[in-house]
Structure 1
Amino acid sequence: MIRRIFLVSTALAIGSVLAACSDSGNKQGAAGSAGAAAQQATPVGVISLTKASFPITTILPGRAEASQIADIRPQVSGIIEEIPFKEGGEVKKGDVLYQIEDAPYLATAAQARAAIAKAEASVPSAQSNFDRYQRLVGSGATQIELETARTNLLQAQAEVESAKAALTAAEIDVDHTKIIAPFDGVIDQTAYNVGNVVAANQTVALTTVRQLDPVYILLTESSTNLLRLREAIRSGEVKGNAGNAAFRLILENGKEYDQKGTLDMSKSVVSETTGTFIIRVRFPNPDHVILPGMYVRATLELGAEVGYALPQLATSRNANGELTAQFVSADGKVETRIFENASPSNNAWLVTEGINHGDQLIVSGLQSISAGMPVKPMPMKINDRGIVVPTEQAASGEAQKPAAK
């Protein structure tokens, strides 16, 4: 009996200890769960969106070409005596590029001058003879003799004019022995050297001069986008005029060119094979940063529209190709929104629906969050270099300025 009571007492004591341990564990588990919940609020950088008017832009691929190109060919034949230009260097309009031997042409010009003097010497005699027969006609001179004297005078005068024309031609040939640059530009390497014989108007060019300031950029645009833009301008959705559009250039290294371009002309015929048309834009190029053949991207500002600008760094595309962005919901959780209609605006997407004034767009920390996850919003700004920084580090007034690259 005593042993049974001892066993029951021992069991009750062990049960009490286990119950105490269980209560302590439950309290610690609850505290741990609360701590884990608090830690799940991931800090993210956000910007508050404000409705405003933003530019409508499009990015077009393009290729650079010289505004003027001239293949240099000789207009007279002869031996090249001098090549004063530096290959690959800059030349100015009127600079001598090639000097062809001019002695034969100077001799021809001298002969023409002598021919003029000879022809002019016969004119006074012919003139005197004509005047004499004119006085004597009807009283010792026949009409036939008068007409013969008139003819001789006209022939003498014509020989003078012919000799003068020959001199002009000879002097032109002398001038053509100096081959000059037709405009300011950059010159290629020479295909002929000193001592080579060249022929007038030969097929092979001596060299080529290209004018690089200004430079042309040939942009390719689809006819579909052109029709869409015209319809948007006509309906008033987009305010602007494509004819007065401003062009900005993105170079191959990703940097923006510091000169603005203007529309020069565009082809009026759409390509049957590609469905595109060519836009030619004129850009100042004083430092020759842009070279012919270089591939670039041009940003075309077509007009303006009222809406909200979503920086491209804060957006992505889902499996269906739709534009998506992450927002902070009213209960502090990540909310994914899909935008069916969005227009490019510099380095942002311009949307008009699905956003309210003051909505918080998540711009940093996107890699560590997912939809429905609690987050802690941290106010941010996007500076003029496209970098997300805390609000106090950004310059005043840059909240909604699309960052230029």
Structure 2
Amino acid sequence: MQRSRIALFVLSALVGSVALTGCDQAAEQSQASAPKAVPVGVLTLKSQALTLKKELPGRISAFQIAEIRPQVSGIVQSRLFVEGKEVKQGQALYQIDPATFEADLAASEASVARAQASISSSKAKASRFSELLKIKAVSQQDFDEADAAYKQAKAELLTAKAQLKSAQINLDYSHVSSPISGQISKSSVTVGALVSANQSTALATVTQLDPIYIDLTQSSNELTKLKKAISSGALSVDSTSQTDVELIMEDGSVYPHKGTLQFSEVTVDPSTGSVILRAKFSNPEKLLLPGMYARASIVEGVKAGAILAPQRGVSRNSKGEPTAMVVSKDNTVESRVLKVDRTIGSDWLVTDGLMDGDKLIVEGLQKIRPGAPVNPSEIQSSTKADQAQ
């Protein structure tokens, strides 16, 4: 009987031990099947005011160009400038043989003197006939003829003076001068060449390089979007910085002087669908030359509450849409479809899909999927959003 009790006790202990072992194994299997939180690096997004800029292509054009042409005909007697050098407004460039024009001027001066002498004589005669007419010493016809002769003499004096002025102008035109200040080109004629008034071939060309223009090209679609953004309030305009233009030269360097936006064309080029914007720059070092290609950065406006997301935290889905992974409130992964405007340095400017305070996952993306638990840790942001290119 004693042995039966001992056997029953041993059997009960064995059954209990097996049951406890089964419970422990079940608990361990349950823990093994539960997904572990994956450590990820996140960046907490912050909205900010962002000055948006647009980079546009353009060509340099001269501020002023003057093609030098003679206004009188004659033989070039001398050239009075050094090719390629700076000339001043009003500086003499060529001397055309003035002998003919000097002779015409002398003849015109003689005509004026003759007309003035004729006026003196006819005026005195008309005055005498006026007094004699009062006492009936001359006929009315004689007085009328004397008075008409006086008036004709005055008209002849006016004609002579006009001819004198014309002769003086032609003589002045024999000194071919520069209408503007600038750098002059090579001469197309030499001393002894015969030139004609208003000929089609220019003697030389003077180009003003300081200041200088750059003509920028912007698509009409971009211009329309910009105007809509400003009118809707999505972008605010600062009148002070709105006209500032920064120039990037052909070698990629930034031009040391800032320019100002002058105007925008009011018509669209039908062949290119673009409009022209003109900016003016100072050019004291003559670094900018007409015809050069350049790029310019213009201020579009200031966007309040802009969200910038690092490009490494944004990918594309099968539809080509930009997507991002963010940490939800319960520390699980949430996938977002985004709308982006442009790249700014190493960031995307996000217009929809992300908001201030979102924790964007930028590290450990290969180990996660939507709905998976994560253990987020904040990383340092290297975002610099001073300008938009």
Alignment partner of 1:61 is 2:57: yes
Deviation of 1:265 after TM superposition, in Å, equals 2.3
Give the letter for the 2:354 counterpart: G
* Aligned amino acid, residue 354 of structure 1: L
1:289-368 correspondence runs (5 A):
289-305=287-303, 306-309=305-308, 339-343=338-342, 349-352=348-351, 353-354=353-354
1:134 equivalent in alignment to 2:138: no
Distance 1:120 1:102 in 2: 27
Contact 2:54 / 2:298 at 8 angstroms: preserved in 1?
yes
CA contact (8 A) 1:299 1:346 kept: no
2-side partners of 1:202 and 1:316: how far apart? Answer: 66
Q: Does 1:199 align with 2:204?
A: no
After superposition, the Cα gap between the structure-2 partners of 1:74 and 1:287, relative to the gap in structure 1 and judged at 3 Å, is same
Distance 2:43 2:103 in 1: 83
Deviation at 1:53?
0.9
Give the letter for the 1:400 counterpart: K
Counting only pairs closer than 5 Å after superposition, residues 224-239 of structure 1 correspond to structure 2 as: 224-239=221-236
**Residues 219-266 of structure 1: CA distance to partner in whole angstroms, max 9, x if unpaired?**
111111122112211222111269944321111111112222222222
Q: Decide whether the 8 Å contact of 1:316 with 1:323 is kept in 2.
A: yes
The corresponding residue for 1:210 is 207
**Structure 1 stretch 350-359 or stretch 191-200: which is displaced more?**
350-359
Distance 2:290 2:348 in 1: 32
Is residue 94 of structure 2 the alignment partner of residue 110 of structure 1?
Answer: no
The count of aligned residue pairs is 338
The letter of the residue matching 1:341 is V
SS in 2 for 1:167: helix
The answer to whether the Cα contact below 8 Å between 1:55 and 1:346 also exists between their aligned partners in 2 is no
Aligned equivalents of 1:211, 1:316: Cα separation in 2: 51
Work out which of the residue numbers 171, 175, 180 in structure 2 matches 1:174: 171
Q: Does 2:375 match 1:400?
A: no
Change (3 A) 1:65 1:59: same
Identity of counterpart residues, as a percentage? Answer: 38
Shift of 1:107: 1.8
Q: CA deviation at 1:122?
A: 2.0
> Once structures 1 and 2 are overlaid, which stretch shifts more, 305-314 or 279-288?
305-314
Q: Which residue number in structure 2 is paired with residue 257 of structure 1?
A: 255
Partner Cα distance (1:181, 1:318) in 2: 66
Aligned to 2:340, the other structure's residue is in SS state coil
SS at match of 1:268: coil
Shift in Å, 1:298: 1.3
Cα distance between partner residues in 2 of 1:242 and 1:228: 19
Q: Is contact 1:70–1:210 with CA below 8 Å preserved after alignment?
A: yes
Alpha-carbon spacing, 1:354–1:292, altered in 2? closer, same or farther (3 Å): same
Alpha-carbon RMSD: 3.9
Selected match of 1:221 from 218, 221, 228: 218
**Are 1:233 and 1:239, in contact at CA under 8 Å, matched by a contact in 2?**
yes
Match of residue 16 from structure 2:
none
Letter of the 1:79 partner, please give it: I
Query: Which structure 1 segments of 5+ residues have no match?
Result: 1-40, 330-334, 382-398
Cα distance change, pair 312–172 in 1 and its aligned pair in 2 (3 A)? farther
2:143 corresponds in structure 1 to: 146
Q: TM-score, normalised by structure 1?
A: 0.70
Partner Cα distance (1:319, 1:66) in 2: 51
Q: Give the stretch that moved more between structures: 274-283 or 172-181.
A: 274-283
